[in-house]
């Protein structure tokens, strides 16, 4: 079933679908947020479709000062949870991030009492790197975990490039 998954940038033509997906988790945003999803953050933000049905949204932004790609929102429609759609969405984001050399990690905050989400991120090879008290004001407890996924680069490619360049230089001498 997941082979029919496609990913699309967030745009004016589908932003209402993002609103619908995010409403399942009681998330609402203003126009400013949606504008950034379609402009500054569009490289890292997308909607996920199963056939022609929007089943997920992921919004991330790059933090220049830290080289982190920060996941702001990650939602899968209730009827489509536990179908590996979230895993495929996360794989897609990791693939995007791995192609951009300035990104060294993906980070996010997750409510400490949301065991399903905490376990999901652990299964996606995120590490809990910190716990923040009083992060959430609408939940009890108010604590959040900071989770991080380190981007792994293909070092063989770098070695091959260096070997190629060193051979080119020695041949030109």
Is residue 57 within 8 A of residue 29, CB to CB? The reply is no
Task: Please report the pLDDT score of residue 86 as a whole number.
Answer: 95
Q: Tell me the backbone φ, ψ of residue 40, rounded to 5 degrees.
A: -60, -35
State the Cα–Cα distance between residues 145 and 148, nearest whole angstrom: 10
Task: Please report the pLDDT score of residue 26 as a whole number.
Answer: 54
Task: Please report the pLDDT score of residue 63 as a whole number.
Answer: 77
State the Cα–Cα distance between residues 93 and 60, nearest whole angstrom: 9
Task: Please report the pLDDT score of residue 70 as a whole number.
Answer: 93
State which H helix or E strand residue 164 sits in.
helix 155-172
Task: Please report the pLDDT score of residue 5 as a whole number.
Answer: 93
Task: Please report the pLDDT score of residue 159 as a whole number.
Answer: 54
Task: Please report the pLDDT score of residue 25 as a whole number.
Answer: 60
Handedness of CA 134, 137, 142, 144 (dihedral sign): negative
Quick count: other Cβ atoms within 10 Å of Cβ 48? Answer: 25
Query: Into which CATH architecture does domain 2-104+151-172 fall?
Result: 3-Layer(aba) Sandwich (3.40)
Token digits for 118?
């905490």
Q: In 3D, which of 79, 105, 81 has the Cα closest to residue 93?
A: 105
Give the CA dihedral 105, 109, 134, 131, nearest 10 degrees: -60
Q: In 3D, which of 28, 65, 62 has the Cα closest to residue 43?
A: 62
Question: Which ranges of the chain have pLDDT less than 70?
Answer: 1-3, 15-16, 19, 22-41, 154-173
């Amino acid at each position: 079933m997941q082979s029919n998954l496609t990913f699309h940038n967030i745009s004016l033509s589908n932003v209402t679908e993002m609103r619908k997906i995010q409403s399942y988790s009681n998330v609402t945003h203003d126009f400013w947020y949606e504008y950034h999803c379609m402009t500054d953050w569009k490289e890292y933000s997308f909607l996920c479709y199963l056939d022609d049905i929007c089943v997920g949204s992921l919004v991330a932004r790059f933090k220049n000062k830290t080289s982190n790609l920060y996941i702001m929102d990650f939602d899968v429609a209730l009827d489509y949870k536990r179908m590996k759609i979230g895993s495929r969405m996360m794989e897609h984001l990791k693939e995007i991030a791995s192609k951009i050399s300035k990104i060294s990690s993906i980070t996010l905050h997750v409510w400490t009492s949301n065991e399903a989400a905490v376990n999901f991120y652990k299964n996606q090879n995120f590490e809990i790197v910190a716990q923040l008290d009083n992060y959430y004001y609408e939940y009890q407890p108010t604590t959040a975990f900071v989770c991080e996924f380190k981007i792994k680069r293909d070092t063989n490619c770098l070695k091959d490039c260096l070997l190629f360049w060193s051979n080119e230089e020695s041949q030109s001498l």
